[in-house]
Amino acid sequence: MGQIEHRAEVREFLSSRRARITPEQAGLLDALARALQLDEAEREHLFALARSAGPDPRRPHTPPTTVRPVIQQVLDAVTDSPAWVRNGRHDLIAMNRLARALYSPVLADPRRPANTTRFVYLDPAAREFFVDWDRVADDAAAMLRLEAGRHPHDRALIELVGELSTRSEIFRQRWASHDVRFHRSGRKRLRHPVVGQLDLDFESMELPSEPGLTLNVYTATPGSPTADGLKMLASWAATQDLAGAQDQA
């Protein structure tokens, strides 16, 4: 992606939003965001781009890549649901045992920290793992674009977008759309290689004590096949931990 040209980013984003409405719908453009019918995520992105293009841009930002021990304690205390913490680049920073088991296909890449967007676009296993791969790919690119607006000088983010753009035509197309999106709650359908399909509800919560980090938790409807699948996954994870301990003995 190279050094982000902020004014060009603002211009291209506004052009992409303006193209989707007619002059009649836009009215007199008395308020830019209202005229362009921007949603909450798009408004935030526009304001972030405007701040970055101003005379006093923010200092370079480096998202955290570790968590305090107490955050890991919180994750480990969640025993019935996969829970993990990510930064704005979608690096997996910390996980509980069930999350490590659930995301074992993502963690198969030896590069650390593992990155879910890199997995989505560059690992062929992602299309099998994510039942709704197209929607997941859309969300991943839109969330990364939102993060780029907030922190355009993040060197690792620039490198990640550059890598994805170089190696994935699909990512280049989605990145060029300038779509931005929040990803706060919803349903995620995963096809785990050991326990099969899991239809999970997710909640994503920013950590006020850890700026730039987000806590994610997957849950299942009690008594559902997915709830049973999570129990099977927990049993498999315990077996894997035991096997690993024996190998180290």
Among residues of the chain, what percentage have pLDDT more than 70?
A: 82
Q: What is the pLDDT at residue 195?
A: 96
Cβ atoms within 10 Å, residue 232 = 15
Q: What is the pLDDT at residue 65?
A: 80
The pair of three-digit structure tokens given for residue 198, joined into one six-digit string: 């899991």
Q: What is the pLDDT at residue 245?
A: 53
Closest Cα partner for 174 from 130, 133, 127, 140? Answer: 140
CB proximity list for 71: less than 8 A, separation 6 or greater: 85, 94, 207, 210, 213
Q: How far apart are CA 187 and CA 199, in angstroms?
A: 7
Closest Cα partner for 129 from 201, 188, 217, 67? Answer: 188
Q: How far apart are CA 87 and CA 125, in angstroms?
A: 23
Please write the tens of the pLDDT for every residue from 36-61. Answer: 778 788 888 877 877 776 555 556 66
Q: How far apart are CA 46 and CA 38, in angstroms?
A: 9
- Banded model confidence at residue 6, pLDDT cuts 50, 70, 90: low
- Banded model confidence at residue 27, pLDDT cuts 50, 70, 90: very low
pLDDT at 1 over 80: no
Please write the tens of the pLDDT for every residue from 217-235. Answer: 999 999 999 999 999 999 9
- Banded model confidence at residue 9, pLDDT cuts 50, 70, 90: confident
**Cα angle, residue 128 at apex, residues 140 and 205 outer, rounded to 5°:** 35
Please write the tens of the pLDDT for every residue from 81-119. Answer: 999 999 999 999 999 999 999 999 999 999 999 999 999
Q: How far apart are CA 108 and CA 159, in angstroms?
A: 21
Q: What is the pLDDT at residue 25?
A: 44
Distances (CA, A) of 102 to 14, 61, 205, 236: 39, 30, 19, 10
Instruction: Provide the mean pLDDT of the chain.
Output: 86
pTM: 0.82
Q: How far apart are CA 175 and CA 92, in angstroms?
A: 22
> Of residues 182 and 50, which shows the higher confidence score?
182
**Region 193-208 average pLDDT:** 96
Cβ atoms within 10 Å, residue 210 = 17
For residue 105, cis peptide bond before it (omega within 30 degrees of 0):
no
CB proximity list for 11: less than 8 A, separation 6 or greater: none
User: Can you list the domains of the chain with their CATH numbers?
Assistant: 6-53 (no CATH), 69-248 (3.30.450.180)
